[in-house]
Structure 1
Amino acid sequence: MSAAPTTSVVPSLDKVDFLKLQNGSDIRGVSVAGVEGEPVNLTEPVAEAIAAAFSGWLVEKKKADASGHLRVSIGHDSRISAQVLQDAISRGIVSAGLDVVQYGLASTPAMFNSTLTEDDAFLCPVDGSIMITASHLPYNRNGFKFFTNAGGLGKADIKDILERAADIYNNFTTEILMTSKEQAHASIKRVDYMSIYTSDLVKAVRKAAGNTEKPLEGFHIVVDAGNGAGGFFAAKVLEPLGAVTAGSQFLEPDGMFPNHIPNPEDKTAMKAITQAVLHNKADLGIIFDTDVDRSAAVDSTGHEFNRNRLIALMSAIVLEEHPGTTIVTDSVTSDGLTTFIEKKLGGKHHRFKRGYKNVIDEAIRLNSIGEESHLAIETSGHGALKENHWLDDGAFLMVKILNKLASARASGVGGGSKVLTDLVQGLKEPAVAVELRLKINQNHPELKGGSFRDYGEAVLKHLENSVESDPNLQKAPVNYEGMQS
C-alpha cells in the first residue's frame, strides 16, 4: 500500500513553515491526508527541496567538487508514504548532481552503517544517508533522519538544512551544485544493503560464541516487528544462528500498523510480545520499533526488559566487559537503577538530558575528557555502544543480549534466559511507574505575554515548592534537566 503526500497546488511556505518540521535532530511531518486537524505539510515538493538542501550541505561538509560525485543512500520503513517520498528525495539529490543508492525497506541503523561499510560491489561507503521514518508515530506521519560517517546530524545541522530547503522551495528550483553535464550523469541505483548489515550481525554473535556456526541452536526466540522494518531479524539473523523462531509475529511490513503501535515503551506492544513468549514457551522475545533503532526483550517467564530493566541489563553486560565504565542515561531513570549500577555493578551512572542524540553526545564528550563511557542509553530503548560507533541500534542491542546467551552456553554456565534475569538481580524498581506528557494550553492566562519556556519553568518551580514542603519527598541533587524527587 502506498499513499502520495501530494497537493494539486504547491502552497506558499516560508522558513517558519519549514522549521516547524524540525523535531530535535530529525524531521517529522504529516505526509498522508485523512486525519482531521492534521493537514499535509510533508509533500513531495517539500521533500525534494529538503533533499536538495541536504545535498548542498553535504557537498560543503565533504568539500567536494564536480569530480567528487558524492553518493547518498536512501532507505525507508514500512510507512505507506515511503515510496513517493523516496522518489521525491531521489529527484532532489539527482537534481543537485549527486548519485542515489536506494535500499528500499531498511532499518535506521543500517543506513548509518552504509556510510562506514567498505564494499565497492554494494557502492559503499556512501557519503551521506537518509532514512525515511517517523519512528512509532501514526500512519499519516513520516520524516527523515540524516547521517554521515561522523554519525547522525545534530539540531543545528537540521535547522540549517531546513532554512536552505525553504529558499530552494520558494525559488522553485533545486540547489544546482554541479554543471548540467554532471547532473546528466547523476544516477539512481538499487542495492540490497540489508544483506550486508544482517550478515555483520550474524558474524558478531558467532564471534562471541567462539566462532560456532549455530550458537543459538536449541534456543526458541520469537520476534515482534510490529509490522515495521524489523521482520528481517527472525529469518536473516536468528535462523542462520540456529534459533527456532516459530511464533514470531507481525513480521510483514504494513504501514497502517494494524496490530499494535511498534513501540517498546507501549504497554499494549509489550503485552503482545509477552503473550507470544508465554504462548509459544519461548526462551526469549524480542520487539522492535518501526525503524529498528529501539528494542526491548522478554524472558521465558514473561519478565520484560525495557525502560529501567533494559538499561540495567545492558549495564550489567557492558560493565562485565569494561569494569568501572560510566553509563550515560536520560534524566527519567529511577534511583534504584543508579544504586544498581553503582553499588551492585561497580559502575558510574551519569544522568543527562532526554533525547537520544543528547545522551550519545554526552557519552562522546565524557570520553573526550578522559572519562571512559561505553554505553549511552535512554529509557525509550535507544541504546548506543562505543564499540558500535555510538549508533543507537536496537538490533545491535539485541545482538549483545544474544551474545550473552550464546557465550554462557559455550562456557558451560547454562542456557535459557535465566542468565539474563540473574544479571539484573538486585535492581529495585518503583512500585508504580507512570509517565504523563502534559499539553500546555496556549490560551492559558499565564501564557499571555510569555513563552512556553517561561510557563514550563513556572510549572517546574511550583513542583519544586511542593516537593520541598513534603517531608516524605527529597529532591535529587543532580538531574541535568527538570526535577526529580
Structure 2
Amino acid sequence: MSQPPVPTFPVTAFKAYDVRGRVPDELNETIAWRIGYGFARLLGAHNLVVGHDIRLSSPALTEAVINGICAAGCNAVHIGQCGTEEIYFATFAGDNAGKRFDGGLCITASHNPADYNGIKLVQAGAAPLAGDCDLDKLKALVADAEMLPAATPGTACHCDFKAQYNTHLMQWIDTNRLRPLRIVVNAGNGGAGNIVDRLEPLLPFEFIKLNHQPDGRFPKGVPNPLLLENREETARAVIQNKADLGIAWDGDFDRCFFFDEQGRFVDGYYVVGLLAQILLQKTPGAAIVHDPRLYWNTRAVVEAAGGTSRVSKTGHAFIKQVMRAEDAVYGGEMSAHHYFRDFAYCDNGTIPWLLITEYLSARNQPLSTLVAEMQRAFPCSDEINRSVDDPDAILHKIRNHFDGQQTATETLDGLGLEFDHWRVNIRQSNTEPLLRLNLETRADSCLLREKTEALLALIEH
C-alpha cells in the first residue's frame, strides 16, 4: 500500500539570501523545526551551531530548530543570544576543545519589524549556501520532504563562545595606539549593547549608551539606522556630549553606522573607502571588493593606496564568492555590510568600529576630516527607493532615454550608466516592486541634484 502524500508547507519566508517572514503565518515553530531538520540533512551534518537575536519569538523558534536538527540525527550546540557575526565565528573557529561545525544558524530578522523573524544559515567555515547546498534546495526540502526521525537522534548542549570571541576581536587592533575617545553608542534595543559591554573593560573609551538594553518589543522602533527618523537621537547625543563619534547598529548588529563628531551621519559609501584605506595599510597591495551601486570613490582610494579593486554583484553570497576567488582582504557594500578575509570572508558589525577608532587615534584627526576629501571628490545620493508597477518597463525607458549619451553601460546588477561626470545604478528589489537608485558625480553636488531630479521625473511620469 502506498504511503499518503506528504503535506506541503508554506515557504514564503524563503528570500534571496536568507529566511525571513511574519510570525506565525510565514514562520512558526513547525516551519523552524523543518528548516533545522532539512538543513542538517542537506549538509549531511554531524554538528551544527545555533544562536538567536533578541526578538520575543526567537527563543521558541530556536528550540524548534534545535529539535529539528536533533531529529535528523545531528548534534546541535546552542550558544544563546548573540549576533549573526558570533554564529559566523563559532562556525569557522570551532570550540576550545577542537570541535568543528558543519554549519551554523542564527535566528534573526535583523532590522525588520518586531512581528517578523528569520534564519541566516552558513555551511562549514561560515561559507554561504551554494552549489549542492543552496537555499533553493533547502526550500524544496522544507516544502515537500517527508521528515522521519533518525534512528539515533542527535544531542543538544549549550556552549559559551563569548570569551573566545572577545579574544578574537581584540586581535584586530593595537590597544596601545588607542586614545581615550568619547563615543555615543546606540544599540537600538538590539543585541549590540552586549558586545560593547564585553569589550568596554579592554578599551580606553568612554561610552555614552543609548537604547542599550535588548528589548524585542523595540520601544523606539525597529533598529535600522538607514531610516532618517532613527538617526536624530544618535546625532543629538553626539553633539550634546561633545563626543568624538557616534555608532549605531541594526538588530543583529552585523551592520554598523557612523556619525562624525558634529553629529552628521557618514554615508556607508565613504566608510567603505575609509576601511579600504585602513586594510591596505595593514596589508599592502591586497585586493578590495565592492558592490556596483557606488564605486568611483572606492576605486580611487584603492588605487591611491596601491591595492586592486574588484566589483561584485550586491549581496553577501556574491561578495564572499568574489572575495574568496581574489583572496581579497576586505569587501564593502554601501549598505554597511563589511566583510573581512580574516573573519572567514564574512560580514561583521564590530570589527569596523574597532578599526576606525584605532585609525582615528593614530591619525589624531576627527572623523569628519578623514572622510571630507572623499565626500567632496565624489558626492553621492542616499539610496532612493521608488515603488513602481512595472520595474522592467521603467528600466527600459531609462536606458532608451540615455542611449548613446553614456560612456559605459553595466548590467552586472541592475542597470549601470556611466557618463563623464556622473553615473547611476538602478536595480530592482529582490522582494518588493521597488526600484533602488544610487547616483554619484565627480566633485559636483549641483550636477548630483540635477540628475537625481531628472531620473525621478522619468520614473514618476
TM-score category of the 2 structures, normalised to the smaller one: 0.7 to 0.9
Of 60, 68, 72, the residue aligned with 1:84 is 60
2:141 to 164, 173, 184: 164
Contact 1:313–1:424 under 8 Å retained in 2? no
Q: CA deviation at 1:458?
A: 3.3
Distance 1:57 1:316, change over 3 A: same
Residues 1:102 and 2:87 aligned together: no
Is this contact kept in 2: 1:228–1:262, CA < 8 A?
yes
Percent identity for Structure 1 against Structure 2: 26
- Pick the aligned partner of 1:321 from 282, 294, 304: 282
Tell me what 1:141 maps to: 116
Q: Distance in 2 between matches of 1:252 and 1:355?
A: 30
Equivalent AA in structure 1 for residue 137 of structure 2: D
Correspondence list, 1:269-418, <5 A: 269-342=230-303, 344-367=304-327, 373-406=328-361, 408=362, 413-414=363-364, 418=366
Give 1:370's aligned residue.
none
SS of match in other structure, 2:215? coil
Of stretches 264-273 and 393-402 in structure 1, the one that deviates more from structure 2 is 264-273
| Partner SS state of residue 219, structure 2 | coil
Paired residue secondary structure (1:89): helix
2:19 is aligned with 1:27: yes
Q: Distance in 2 between matches of 1:429 and 1:165?
A: 50
CA change 1:274–1:419 in 2 (3 A) is closer
Give the Å deviation of 1:346.
Answer: 4.3
- The match for 1:191 is 159
Deviation at 1:50, TM superposition (A): 0.9
Query: Partner residue of 1:42?
Result: 27
Instruction: Indicate the SS of the match to 1:425.
Output: helix
1:93 aligns with 2:69: yes
Query: Aligned partners of 1:356, 1:312: CA distance in 2, in Å?
Result: 18
Report the alpha carbon displacement of residue 273 of structure 1 after superposing the two structures with TM. Answer: 2.1
Aligned to 2:210: 249
2:116 maps to amino acid: R
What whole-Å deviation, never above 9, does each CA across 1:374-399 have from its counterpart, x for those lacking one? Answer: 22111111110112210101112222
Task: Return the alpha-carbon distance in structure 1 between the equivalents of residues 28 and 169 of structure 2.
Answer: 35
Tell me, which stretches of 5 or more residues in structure 1 are unaligned?
A: 1-11, 33-39, 63-69, 368-372, 442-454
TM-score, normalising length: structure 1: 0.77
Q: CA deviation at 1:479?
A: 5.6
Measure how far apart 1:327 and its partner are: 2.5
Query: Aligned to 1:204, what secondary structure does the other structure show?
Result: coil
Residue 109 of structure 1: how far off its partner (Å): 0.9
| Runs (4+) off by over 4 Å | 429-432
Distance 1:430 1:423 in 2: 11
Mark the CA change 1:382 to 1:251 in structure 2 (over 3 Å): closer, same or farther: same
- 96-105 or 428-437, which deviates more: 428-437
Is the contact between residue 7 and residue 144 of structure 2 (CA under 8 Å) also seen in structure 1?
no
Contact kept in structure 1, 2:49 and 2:103, CA below 8 Å: yes
Counterpart code for 1:225? A
Deviation at 1:108, TM superposition (A): 0.5
Equivalents in 1 of 2:382, 2:290: separation in Å?
Answer: 18
Greater mean deviation of Cα atoms: 224-233 or 345-354: 345-354
Aligned to 1:384, the other structure's residue is in SS state: strand
Number of matched residues? 410
Cα 1:306–1:155 change in 2 (3 A) is farther
* Maintained 8 Å contact 1:217/1:241: no
The alpha carbon displacement at 1:199 in A equals: 3.1
CA distance in 1, matches of 2:110, 2:8: 26
Shift of 1:250: 1.1
Residues 476, 325 of structure 1: alpha-carbon distance in 2 compared, 3 angstrom cutoff: farther
The 1:332/1:72 distance shift into structure 2, 3 A limit, reads: same
* Counterpart residue type for residue 143 of structure 2: A
| SS state at 2:232 partner | helix
Structure 1 residues 48 and 119: alpha-carbon distance in aligned structure 2, compared to 1, 3 A threshold: closer
- Specify the alignment match of 2:395 in structure 1: 460
The corresponding residue for 2:381 is 433
Instruction: Determine the C-alpha separation between the residues in 2 that align with 1:279 and 1:429.
Output: 30
Specify whether residues 476 and 267 from structure 1 end up closer, same or farther in structure 2 by C-alpha distance, changes over 3 A only. Answer: farther
CA distance in 1, matches of 2:171, 2:283: 22
Given the alignment, which residue of 44, 49, 60 partners 1:73? 49
TM-score (norm 2): 0.81
User: Structure 1 residue 131: deviation in Å?
Assistant: 0.1
Find the counterpart in structure 2 of residue 483 from structure 1: 415
In structure 2, relative to structure 1, the CA distance for the partners of 1:284 and 1:189 (3 Å cut) is same
With 306-315 and 151-160 compared, the bigger mean Cα shift is at 151-160
The answer on 1:421 being equivalent to 2:369 is: yes
- How many angstroms does 1:319 deviate by? 2.2
Q: Which amino acid aligns with 1:137?
A: N
Q: Distance in 2 between matches of 1:158 and 1:175?
A: 21
Contact 1:309 1:424 in 2 (8 A): no
CA contact (8 A) 1:265 1:381 kept: no
**CA 1:267–1:325: 2 relative to 1, 3 Å:** farther
Q: How big is each residue's C-alpha offset from its partner over 1:268-297, in whole Å with a ceiling of 9 and x where there is no partner?
A: 333332222222111222211111211122
Choose from 213, 216, 220 the match for 2:182: 220
Distance 1:429 1:258, change over 3 A: farther
1:118/1:355 CA distance change after superposition, 3 Å: closer
